[in-house]
């Protein structure tokens, strides 16, 4: 009968693999490099196979290490979820979904994307907004269950992330009624006479907006640039300028009588993604989001 697996040794191996080297792994663990290295060697001896190989000044996983890493990811991800799952079950709270939101993602769009899991009231959402790269790091470490973004995750074999297209929506252009006037010029020419509020360049859609304006021969005055889409819309409502927003936000924006629709730009499209970590046991609420994707 095989000796039982030493989960301490497996955890040290997992951290070293995540960090890409013994020194960085030991620093994260708060242990001496020699101690961590010795414990990983004991794990390799118990398996009968090397788990790491040199890769310049760093370490890379062998084929055996890749297999061990796949199981370690599942084991420690489930271990991190276990206390919360027990607490939620004991208190009668709904299943938790820890979702990260890229800071450039429109908030009204986020609500639209999450409707499949909040419609029945059974989910307990824990939403965290941050920069895209930091969210991906948290996802890879299983601090998040999924990330919503306006771009796919970049190719990175160390992160093991999957991007799932949730949908796309064209942009429409809105303006305060007092700024647009009773009979504004035809769209999109009217934008040339109005100050514009735009998302900052860190959003995926901003370069496409700039190209669209140039194609239409428009060189309007940019009165403000905003990382937060809700703040952008708030300043638009205040009368500061015209602004683009996802067509999915149309109903909510036009519910405000002070806002008017200037026109649609169907060729200017935002695409939205759900990014998940590779793991054999999928979070049921993440699975529900993916199942809701048309086609």
- Averaged pLDDT of the chain: 86
pLDDT of residue 160: 78
- Assign 78 a pLDDT band (cuts: 50, 70, 90): confident
Confidence of residue 266 (pLDDT cuts 50, 70, 90): very high
pTM of the entire predicted model: 0.65
83 pLDDT more than 80: no
Structure tokens at 197: 């509020």
DSSP state for residue 200 in the 8-state scheme: -
- Tell me if the bond preceding 4 is cis, omega within 30° of 0: no
Residues, the chain: 295
- Report the DSSP pairing between strands 146-149 and 95-102: parallel
Q: Report, as an integer, the average pLDDT of 125-150.
A: 88
Which residues make beta-bridge pairs with 162? 276
- Cβ–Cβ < 8 Å for 39, 32: no
pLDDT tens, position by position, 9-40 = 999 999 999 888 999 999 998 999 999 999 99
Average pLDDT of the segment spanning 93-97: 73
Mean pLDDT, residues 269-282 = 79
Averaged pLDDT, 26-55: 92
pLDDT-based confidence at residue 91 (cuts at 50, 70, 90) = low
Confidence of residue 1 (pLDDT cuts 50, 70, 90): very low
Quick one: fold of 7-73? Arc Repressor Mutant, subunit A (1.10.10)
Backbone angles phi, psi at 245, to 5 degrees: -155, 155
Burial of 13 (0-12, 13-18, 19+ CB in 10 A): buried
**Comma-separated ranges of CATH 3.40.190.10 domains in the chain:** 74-166+273-291, 168-269
Q: What is the mean pLDDT of residues 104-116?
A: 83
Peptide bond into 246 cis (omega under 30): no
Asked if 17 contacts 76 with a C-beta cutoff of 8 angstroms, the reply is no
Residue 117 has pLDDT above 50, yes or no: yes
Who wins on pLDDT, 194 or 285? 194
* Cα–Cα separations (whole angstroms), residue 201 to 91, 108, 151: 44, 20, 13
**Phi–psi pair at 166, nearest 5 degrees:** -90, -20
- Provide the β-strand partners of residue 82: none
CB-hemisphere CA count at 13 Å for 245? 31
Q: Residue 288: what pLDDT? A: 84
The pLDDT assigned to 80 comes to 73
pLDDT at 295 over 70: no
Residue among 61, 36, 51, 43 at smallest CA distance from 6: 43
Residues 156-213 pLDDT 10s: 766 778 899 988 899 999 999 888 876 667 899 999 989 999 999 888 899 999 999 9
Count the neighbouring beta carbons within 10 Å of the beta carbon of residue 274.
22
Of the segments 39-53, 61-75, 171-185, which one has the largest average pLDDT value? 39-53
Cα separation, 230 vs 101, whole angstroms: 13
199 close to 232: Cβ distance less than 8 angstroms: yes
Residues 6+ apart with CB under 8 A from 86: none
Q: Are 195 and 241 in contact (CB under 8 A)?
A: yes
Pairwise CA distance, residues 5 & 17, whole Å: 18
Q: What mean pLDDT comes out for the span 250-263?
A: 90
Instruction: Yes or no: say if 136 and 273 are a contact pair by the CB < 8 Å rule.
Output: no
Neighbours of 35 (CB within 10 A): 12
Q: Give pLDDT tens digits for 209-234.
A: 999 999 999 998 999 999 888 888 88
Instruction: State residue 155's pLDDT score.
Output: 83
Task: Provide φ and ψ at 64, rounded to 5°.
Answer: -65, -40
Fold topology of 168-269: D-Maltodextrin-Binding Protein; domain 2 (3.40.190)
Token pair for 65: 């290490």
Name the CATH architecture for the domain at 74-166+273-291. 3-Layer(aba) Sandwich (3.40)
Within 10 angstroms of residue 2's Cβ, the number of other Cβ atoms is 5
Contact 180, 190 (CB under 8 A): yes
pLDDT at 183: 67
């Amino acid at each position: 009968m095989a000796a039982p697996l030493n989960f301490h040794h497996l955890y040290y191996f997992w951290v070293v693999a995540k960090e890409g080297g013994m020194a960085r792994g030991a620093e994260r663990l708060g242990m001496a490099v020699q101690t961590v290295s010795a414990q990983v060697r004991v794990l390799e001896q118990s398996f009968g196979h090397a788990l790491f190989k040199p890769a310049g000044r760093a370490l890379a996983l062998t084929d055996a290490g890749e297999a061990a890493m796949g199981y370690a990811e599942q084991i420690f991800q489930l271990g991190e979820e276990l206390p919360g799952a027990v607490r939620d079950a004991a208190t009668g709270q709904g299943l938790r979904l820890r979702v990260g939101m890229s800071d450039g993602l429109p908030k009204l769009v986020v609500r639209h994307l999450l409707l499949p899991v909040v419609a029945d009231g059974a989910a307990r959402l824990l939403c965290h907004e941050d920069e895209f790269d930091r969210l991906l790091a948290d996802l890879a470490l299983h601090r998040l269950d999924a990330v919503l973004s306006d771009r796919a995750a970049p190719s990175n074999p160390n992160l093991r992330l999957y991007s799932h297209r949730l949908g796309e929506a064209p942009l429409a252009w809105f303006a305060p009624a007092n700024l647009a006037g009773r009979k504004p010029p035809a769209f999109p020419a009217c934008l040339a006479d109005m100050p514009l509020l735009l998302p900052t360049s860190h959003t995926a859609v901003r370069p496409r907006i700039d190209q669209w304006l140039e194609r239409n021969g428009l060189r309007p005055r940019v009165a403000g640039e905003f990382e937060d889409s809700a703040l952008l819309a708030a300043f638009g409502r205040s009368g500061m300028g015209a602004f683009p927003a996802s067509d999915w936000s149309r109903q909510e924006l036009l519910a405000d009588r002070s806002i008017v629709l200037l026109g649609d730009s169907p060729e200017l499209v935002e695409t939205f993604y759900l990014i998940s970590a590779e793991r054999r046991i999928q979070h049921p609420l993440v699975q529900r989001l993916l199942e809701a994707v048309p086609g």
